[in-house]
Amino acid sequence: MDHRAEVSDFLRTRRDRITPSQAGILGGTRRRVPGLRREEVAAATGISVEYYARIERGDLRGVSTEVLDALARTLLLDEAETDHLHDLAEAAGPPARRRPRHAEQPFPDTLQRFVDAVSVPVWVRDRRMDVVATNPVGRALYAPVLEDPAARGNTARFVFFSPASQSFFPDWEDNATGIVATLRTYAGQSPRDKRLSDLIGELATRSDDFRVRWAAHDVRHHRTGLKRIHHPEVGDLELGYEAMDFPAHPDWFMFGYTAAPGSPSEERLRLLGSLAQESADWARTSADGRTAAAG
């Protein structure tokens, strides 16, 4: 991605969405631009028009934290957007010296045991939306995603490449928008991640729905929320989710799903857990049988 274009488009789309009244600016109603003028942004931020013009052309080199925060207040940026602006400014500087990281990291046995010990559905993914680990009920919950040949274990590919995604996610539009905004957040944090850039390029090349959302330059923190799923085995589920970071493994994020006590979703989730356990028992019995036969 062109970093200057990324900065320019992000700031322009944020500026265009704000009305003068939202920014506390009094003036006439006849305006050539849909949102704020550059000079209005500059004045409200406390910088010169020339300096803001340089920033909106995509040059964030040397811009102080104070100016970035003032600009975020002027443009009414939320937390995710403010963090994204700071990420873009950091990426404008020289590459940070970091210890090389392997592209593929094995999932530690200690973490897998922890994930398996959790009774609610749990799955772990990386910044490229690849699922790297699940517990049995988590795998059962996301089996349509994990087993879809178009997805190849990737939630973004599932949403934008698989027709089954619109049945699995009843709120498909919101899910699609959220995935794109999360990917753009990650791209701002890791602008030199080639695997992430390759995924974004693949999605943009093959999906009109992705391209339209990517052009909006929206960002978000994927931390908590409500997910509706239509599961082929147990039916409709309404689940709350929480996202957790791994400080020792900053590239991975764990998601846990719960249902409201006494709700139909809790009953169906319990049924899904029973089916997952039966499947695991059957697989273990089959494996023991093959071992005994081989002996």
For residue 79, what is the enclosing H or E element? helix 79-91
Does the residue 230 lie in any domain? yes
Are both 54 and 165 inside the same structural domain? no
Question: Total structural domains in the chain?
Answer: 2
Are both 210 and 141 inside the same structural domain? yes
Q: Is the distance from CB of 160 to CB of 150 less than 8 angstroms?
A: no
- CATH number for the domain harbouring residue 238: 3.30.450.180
- CATH number for the domain harbouring residue 70: 1.10.260.40
Are both 222 and 79 inside the same structural domain? no
Confidence band of 216 (pLDDT split at 50, 70, 90): very high
Give the separation between CA 248 and CA 173, rounded to whole angstroms. Answer: 34
Give the separation between CA 83 and CA 9, rounded to whole angstroms. Answer: 16
Does the residue 97 lie in any domain? no
pLDDT at 284: 58
Residue 168 has pLDDT above 50, yes or no: yes
Does the residue 294 lie in any domain? no
Q: Which amino acid, 225? A: G
Q: Tell if the pTM clears 0.75, that is, is over it.
A: yes
Mean pLDDT of 273-292: 65
pLDDT at 276: 85
Mean pLDDT of 63-82: 96
pLDDT digits (tens, 9 = 90+) for 284-294: 555 455 554 55
Residues 6 or more apart in contact with residue 9 via CB below 8 angstroms: 215, 217
Residue 273, domain extent: 109-286
Alpha helices in 155-241 (DSSP H): 155-161, 165-168, 172-189, 194-206, 208-214
Higher-pLDDT residue of 100 and 134 is 134
Are both 144 and 75 inside the same structural domain? no
Are both 230 and 120 inside the same structural domain? yes
Are both 38 and 135 inside the same structural domain? no
Q: Quote the mean pLDDT of the chain.
A: 90
